[in-house]
Amino acid sequence: MIEVKDLHKHFAAVKAVDGVSFTARDGEITGLLGPNGAGKTTTLRMLYTLMQPDRGQVLIDGIDVATDALAVRRQLGVLPDARGLYKRLTARENIEYFARLQGMDESLIRMRCEQLVKALDMTDIAERRAEGYSQGQRVKTAIARALVHDPRNVILDEPTNGLDVMATRSMRQFMRRLKEEGRCVLFSSHIMQEVAALCDRIVVIAHGRVVADETPDALRAQTGEANLEDAFVKIIGSEEGLAA
């Protein structure tokens, strides 16, 4: 479970995150939806210990990010906005390298690697160097790497960004599978359809603040709009930066 309480972060005069609170539960997919520049990536970076908040608290499975970042990282699988693979290593080597950094033993590494290569349908690239990978192949490798230590909580920054229709579909299926395994899945997106198709809970963020935190059905009911897209536009107050 991921609990976020009154997070703040500013960059000079820009209040990127201005009092964000929400909870992402186990066995659910929570979507962080907002237009470009809303503060999604900055929020996620503070959750996965890359950036320190000015104020506020983040608890991952009850562990405070500020006091025990190492323990938190063990409970977290992260697909950051910069996917950053080692180009000279194969997909398998990229995954294995991260597993070793997590202190896993070699037989477990081989087993998890095999499982993930299968689950993400990447046998064709497993032994190929990452140099020259397509966007979809890079995302798959980065996700496998993020999940190699079998984390309970998974944070994905715009996981379908740049993927084609088929790759997007299989990514969504994979996220549902993570949910069925009982994990807490939190992802960011500015694509309404994606959030509507996947999420148990939607946290809408605009100008660094949470403007709605509901189930898709409750969002429709609250705004009186049957169409989720219209509901979002009503909540955010503009169509700027949102993609259907």
Ligand X SMILES: Nc1ncnc2c1ncn2[C@@H]1O[C@H](COP(=O)(O)OP(=O)(O)OP(=O)(O)O)[C@@H](O)[C@H]1O
Q: Is 78 in the site for ligand X (CB under 6 A)?
A: no
* Residue 202: CB minimum distance to ligand X, A: 15
Buried-state track 106-115, b at ≥16 Cβ within 10 A, e below 16: eeebeebbee
CB within 8 Å of 82: residues ≥ 6 apart: none
Tell me which of 190, 228, 231, 235 binds ligand X, using CB under 6 A: 190
Beta carbon nearer to ligand X, 96 or 194: 194
Q: How far is the CB of 23 from ligand X (least distance, A)?
A: 19
Residue 183 found at the interface with ligand X (CB under 6 A):
no
Cβ-based neighbours of 128, under 8 Å, separated by 6 or more: 90, 91
Q: Does 33 bind ligand X (CB under 6 A)?
A: no
Number of residues that bind ligand X (CB under 6 A): 12
Nearer to ligand X, 42 or 223 (CB): 42
50, 43 contact by CB (below 8 A): no
Residues 235 and 202: their CA atoms lie apart, in Å, by 12
Told to check if 42 binds ligand X by CB under 6 A, we report yes
Q: How far is CA 31 from the centre of its chain?
A: 8
C-alpha torsion sign, points 24, 30, 36, 42: positive
Q: Binding of ligand X at residue 163 (CB under 6 A)?
A: no
Rounded Cα distance between 101 and 35, Å, is 35
Instruction: Give the residue, chosen from 2, 4, 33, 40, that forms a contact with ligand X under the rule CB under 6 A.
Output: 40
The interface region with ligand X, picked from 18-26, 34-42, 64-72, 93-101 by CB under 6 A, is 34-42
Q: Using the rule CB under 6 A, give the single segment among 29-37, 117-125, 144-152, 217-225 that binds ligand X.
A: 29-37
For binding to ligand X (CB under 6 A), which residues are involved?
A: 11, 14, 16, 34, 36-42, 190
